[in-house]
Amino acid sequence: MNYNETLILLKAKPRKWLVTGAAGFIGSHLVETLLESNQSVVALDNLSTGHIKNIQKFTEEYPQNFNFIQGDILDLETCSKAMVDTEHVLHQAALGSVPRSIENPLNTHKSNVNGHLNVLISAKEKGVKSFVYASSSSVYGDHPDLPKQESKIGNCLSPYAASKRINEIYSEVFQRCYDLQVAGLRYFNVFGPRQDPNGPYAAVIPKWVSAFLAGEQIEIYGDGETSRDFCYVKNVVQANILLSLSQNKKAFGETYNIAFNKRTTLNELFEQLTIGLKTRGQLIKNKEPIYKDFRKGDVRHSLADIDKAKKLFKYEPDYSLEMGLNESLDWYIKNSQRRQ
């Protein structure tokens, strides 16, 4: 059953979902799609990195189906209360960023490992039907092979990567010990509307677009030939929903690459953003980037093999980088103008 067929069946049968990190970039898109599909959603977020503006409209538009809980996954009781009557869990709450984890590994560990364990324990106790969580392509570390295959991982290059690998290990253990249907999604450079362009840990696409629009110089770490497999957020939403509702028992107890399966260098991304903004009438003041030293913990190249996800739960990404940028740039321009 493909994604469109799954959405049709989903609308016909309402279920109760818990989305952690719901006020964040990815979490809010998951909440939106579920509510549009007539689902009941409990949204849990401590608003440390998420924004209430990302989910505020859902309270007004879906008063019967949406319940926001401002709380922290580091509190087991909060997780347990949020999990009541939940059928499916989409666990997105985490403290992201490789540089942030290098600067403060303890905070990363607390949020990403202790918090993850609390959500797992609560899901096990409440007997949920499925538990799908966000892992990361950072777990591949220094393994040189391209494309990245789930079974081949190297040494972790940051505390953030280590925390996500520990999440995977704990999840596998809960599947074996408690028969919890759990699976992880290794996201590859997700981008799209609502992604925060501000702060030192902002992802590259929103950060660069914000800099372009402000007339600032773009900084590239390294020679610009570092490559990434950029994945539009709607592909990620598709993967979460398809996997959660999969009838294939073999799909659980696994981790999957979620990407588009195409490599783009930072130099190529710079050119695409320049062209995309110019076609929208934006003035590009600084036409050449500034190249700086490579950052500690950064992976040189990233490209995902997505065959496993295609085979086990019918993942078929609809949006390329170009298609995703076509939707995202209008949002970034509009929201940049609001801030000015």
Q: Which residues are catalytic?
A: 160
Strand ranges, E, within the chain: 16-20, 40-45, 66-70, 88-91, 130-136, 182-187, 190-191, 219-221, 227-228, 231-232, 255-258, 264-265, 290-292
Q: 182, 120 in Cβ contact below 8 A? A: yes
**∠ CA 124-130-134, rounded to 5°:** 95
Strand ranges, E, within 107-254: 130-136, 182-187, 190-191, 219-221, 227-228, 231-232
- Amino acid in position 312: L
Give the span between the Cα atoms of 18 and 91, in whole angstroms.
8
User: For 183-214, b where at least 16 C-beta lie within 10 A, e where not — what string?
Assistant: bbbbbbbbbbbbbbbeeebbbbbbbbbbbbbe
| 184 DSSP β-pair partners | 133, 255
Give the strand pairing for 227-228 and 264-265.
antiparallel
- Amino acid in position 310: K
φ, ψ at 89 (rounded to 5°): -115, 130
User: Residue 19: which of 73, 64, 98 has the closest Cα?
Assistant: 73
Reduced to 3 states, what is the DSSP secondary structure of residue 237? helix
Give the span between the Cα atoms of 116 and 168, in whole angstroms.
10
